[in-house]
A and B are shown apart, each in its own frame.
Chain A
Amino acid sequence: MHEILKKSYIFFGGKGGVGKTTCAAAASLIFAEHKRRTLIVSTDPAHSTSDIFDKPIKSKDTVIAENLWGLEIDPHDEARRYMEGVKKSLKEVVSAALVEEIKRQINIAYVTPGAEEAAIFDKFVELMGRVDTDFDCIVFDTAPTGHTLRLLSLPELLGVWMDSMVAKRKKALKLKKMLARVQDEHDLVAKIEAEDPILGILEARRQRFTYARDLLLDKEKTSFVFVITPEKLPILETRRAVTMLERHGIHVGGIVVNRVLPEGLEGEFFAKRKAQEAVYLEEIRSTFGKKVLATVPLLEEDVRGMESLKRLIPYLQEAAA
């Protein structure tokens, strides 16, 4: 865990139901105990950070403990704010006849597939920019694997898309300028040569994507921790996800094995489960090797609220010792 403690952006991911939120919450407590100003952010549209801390966490920084804040990204809230900004800027520029049509389009865009994802992504980039000023590190409690891999690959995809849009815009402007020249429209030439506001917006977007991508690929600052349980499917899914992240150049900091059956259980049922678990634990060891950071046992009670989260800390820290 000590390597992870130095990072600024720590992602907790894994298959649904393995205990991502629990481990992320316990880890964020460790960070806060180390006197690092920590923000725990849930990027899963189905949030459960509030539930694990047993405390309402809003879409703004919410104090959880000393040095620890929480935030749940509300995609609808973010999208609404963005759309309102767009609608406001419309009032100044566009002719009245078109405003209605455009407003209609905005409302459509609000429900198109991808809008929620894009809203989460925008907020995500905004939050990354708050490290060093407001916080020392951010722990991301992410959505199940597929959703998160997509979120992390967005800067790459959108960056490429934006590059081509910038190139297209430049080419169109060049043609327009040539056209204005041969038609002796000097005013238009001067206007085109001045700064293009559309290009400005595109460039700003592109910079945001590049910024996010650079941070995600920065091994010194960013690390991804996978949570798995000693079961077949989480192992398989996590192995694929690790391969994919490493192929994208994202640093995988380690694996936390959650809900391992404790020693000293009696009865035939538990003996059988324990034997089966041993097979999977061996598979985890052979698959992930040194990446395994910590092993957290199955507790006799649900993990909910501060006190029970604190019980997990020694297990997560064992690798640090």
Chain B
Amino acid sequence: MGIKKLMEKASKEARATAKEAFHDPFVHTMTKAYFDEYDQFILLFFSDFIGIPNPLSYHSLELFALMGEELEGWTRRMEDRKAKVDACWCC
């Protein structure tokens, strides 16, 4: 194996390690942060879907056409939550 190839291999490994150590957790955290924010947003509009009465559901109807498709994933995420009770929705 030539030195060049060895270098390439080392560099590739280093990149993979860096990705694993920094990039992936970052993406993971970001994804979680995004969904937390996004799910809260949907909850405030469509809590009726999961049985929480929402006095403003009338005004949120006009968002149905735009958000309808995303509601499916949202309902699933809501149901998957392990700790429904102590999840802090308000802050």
Chain A, range 87-134, C-beta contacts under 8 Å to B: 89-90, 92-95, 98-99, 102, 105-106, 108-109, 112-115, 118-119
Residue in B closest to A164 when the chains form the complex, CB atoms: B44
A197, CB-defined interface residue at 8 Å:
yes
Partner of B34, one of A112, A115, A176, A201: A176
Report the Cα distance A182→B69, complex, angstroms: 25
B23, CB-defined interface residue at 8 Å:
yes
Chain B, range 2-49, C-beta contacts under 8 Å to A: 23, 26-27, 30-31, 33-34, 37-38, 40-41, 44-46, 48-49
> A92-B65, A106-B61 in contact; A168/B56 too (CB < 8 A)?
no
Report the Cα distance A168→B37, complex, angstroms: 7
B66 adjacent to A118 (CB under 8 Å): no
A285, CB-defined interface residue at 8 Å:
no
Report the Cα distance A119→B54, complex, angstroms: 15
B59, CB-defined interface residue at 8 Å:
yes
| Closest Cβ–Cβ distance, residue B38 to chain A (whole Å) | 4
A178, CB-defined interface residue at 8 Å:
yes
| Closest Cβ–Cβ distance, residue A103 to chain B (whole Å) | 9
Chain B contact residue count (CB 8 A cutoff): 34
Report the Cα distance A90→B56, complex, angstroms: 20
| Closest Cβ–Cβ distance, residue B48 to chain A (whole Å) | 6
B1, CB-defined interface residue at 8 Å:
no
A241, CB-defined interface residue at 8 Å:
no
* Chain A residues positioned under 8 Å from B44 (CB to CB): 165, 168
Residue in B closest to A92 when the chains form the complex, CB atoms: B65
| Closest Cβ–Cβ distance, residue B22 to chain A (whole Å) | 10
Q: A94-B69, A108-B57 are in contact. List 11 more A-B contacts (CB 8 A).
A: A89-B62, A102-B64, A105-B48, A114-B57, A161-B56, A165-B45, A172-B34, A172-B37, A175-B33, A179-B31, A183-B27
A-B contact pairs, 9 of them (CB 8 A): A83-B61, A89-B65, A93-B65, A93-B69, A105-B46, A108-B57, A115-B57, A115-B58, A179-B34
Residue in A closest to B37 when the chains form the complex, CB atoms: A172
Report the Cα distance A79→B59, complex, angstroms: 10
Partner of A93, one of B30, B59, B62, B66: B66
A112 adjacent to B57 (CB under 8 Å): yes
A108 adjacent to B58 (CB under 8 Å): no
A169 adjacent to B41 (CB under 8 Å): yes
| Closest Cβ–Cβ distance, residue A207 to chain B (whole Å) | 14
